[in-house]
Amino acid sequence: MPTTNRTALTVIAHIAAWVGFFTLPYLVFFPRLREFNISNHQLAAIVCNNVFLVFFYYLNTLFLIPRFLVKEKWWWYVISIAASLVIFLYVPKQIALQIAEPDVFNPNNREFIRNPAFQGKPRFPGMMTRRTRPVADPYNTFLFLLVFTVGTCASMIQRWLRTEQTRKETENEKLNTELSFLKQQVNPHFFFNTLNNIYSLAVVRSEKTAPAVMKLSSIMRYILTETQRDLVPLRNEVDFIHNFIELQQVRLTDKVQVRFSADGDIDTLLIAPLLFIPFVENAFKYGVSTKEASQIQFTLWTRDNKVYFTSSNFIVSTDNSLLENTGIGITNVKRRLELMYPEKHRLVTAEKDNYYTVHLEIET
């Protein structure tokens, strides 16, 4: 909402609140308005009291609270309230007396008669004067403290809400920044391992080098376009894994069997990009042997709004320093899952009988 519209709505809300606050007592206590008479002095006193109430409300919320209460200057705040109360109980009465003198009420015709020579006694027999309230007026004291209390509570609640909003915005910005940083780390980590594979092919001058470069180009195009989005179609991730596996198979022998199956509603569900690829990479790192037969298996399926992914590979030891595990990929994907799917994912990894398995469950 634009700032101008928000300010206008705030002003309208304040005016409506004050109108309701000032008229409600008269609507409650004087429902039969045609029988309700009020003197000029009473009207002047009411107007003066209301004007001073509004003044002290905004003095409290706009000056006293920010200057003293928020900064924990308790004594200054208490002294300011006490001084404001004394002023409120005395000054409006004096101003009302200057505007209109107290009138005399005639019970015979139920009307007020102005008394220029008012000295606190009835001018005519059968008439009584309106007794002015002393400075220590319980009603006005209660009204003043009520307005001050409402103003203080409203102001502190608004400050708390603004603080909470700022805190949430800061946390969201921090999470977005961290997610962006993690995405940027995923890409170099992936290219680091893939380029090592192509480097190995180039060293032996394999004919598979050129197709591998083309596959890498396709994968790079996907990463540059899709990873800029928070969510991508699950179908795109499945195709990406297929391309990655084909790129890896360029350097593999017939001794390595790789299976990947994807079932379920993969065309409509959305998922965060590059969540599965670190586990696929990890399986190729430690599940490929050049001396003995090895098998790597990936399975992805969906059920309702959940995505399931499993990976299984035989752990093969290697001394190849180019494939040394840095831990960046697995660590990052765990952190991304915590940020993007809090309490909506389950990741279980296990080693048993020299097999490494991964089970990932995500609620989209």
- What domain range is 315 assigned to? 181-363
In a domain, 133, yes or no: yes
Question: Residue 332 in contact with residue 276, Cβ under 8 Å?
Answer: no
Q: Which residues pair with 303 in a beta bridge?
A: 306
252 shares its domain with 273: yes
CATH number at residue 226: 3.30.565.10
186 and 242 in one domain? yes
Q: Report the alpha-carbon distance of residue 151 to residue 155 in Å, rounded.
A: 6
Last residue of a domain, one of 146, 168, 190: 168
Number of structural domains (the chain) is 2
Share of the chain residues as helix, strand and coil, in percent rounded to the nearest 5: 60, 15, 25
**Domain stop point among 147, 168, 189:** 168
From CA 357, how far away is CA 244, in angstroms rounded? 19
Report yes or no: 53 and 147 within 8 Å, Cβ to Cβ: yes
For tokens 């007794």, the residue is 131
- Which residues, at least 6 apart from 49, have a Cβ–Cβ distance to it below 8 Å? 88, 92, 140, 143
What is the model's pLDDT at position 123? 40
Residues 192 and 160 in one domain: no
User: Between 118 and 252, whose confidence is greater?
Assistant: 252
Angle CA 249–255–259, to nearest 5: 55
Q: Strands 345-352 and 270-271, how do they pair?
A: unpaired
Q: What is the mean pLDDT of residues 300-311?
A: 94
pLDDT per residue as tens digits for the range 228-260:
788 899 999 999 899 888 887 877 778 888 999
At residue 59, the pLDDT reads 87
Of the spans 33-47, 98-112, 268-282, which averages the highest pLDDT?
Answer: 268-282
Tokens representing 253?
């022998």
Secondary structure (3-state) at 65? helix
* 294-303/306-314 β-pairing: antiparallel
Q: What is the DSSP string of 194-237?
A: HHHHHHHHHHTT-TTHHHHHHHHHHHHHHHHHHTTSS-EEHHHH
Q: How confident is the model at residue 323 (pLDDT cuts 50, 70, 90)?
A: very low
Within a domain: residue 175?
Answer: no
Tokens of 324: 């040394």
Query: Checking DSSP bridges between strand 256-263 and strand 294-303, what pairing results, if any?
Result: parallel
Q: What is the pLDDT of residues 132-154, one digit of tens each?
A: 444 457 878 888 888 888 888 88
Cα 38 from Cα 345, distance rounded (Å): 71
- Residue 121 and residue 8 share a domain: yes
Q: Are residues 152 and 239 in the same domain?
A: no
Q: What is the pLDDT of residues 154-187, one digit of tens each?
A: 888 888 888 888 777 767 666 666 666 666 555 5
The pLDDT tens digits for 340-356 are 898 899 999 998 888 89
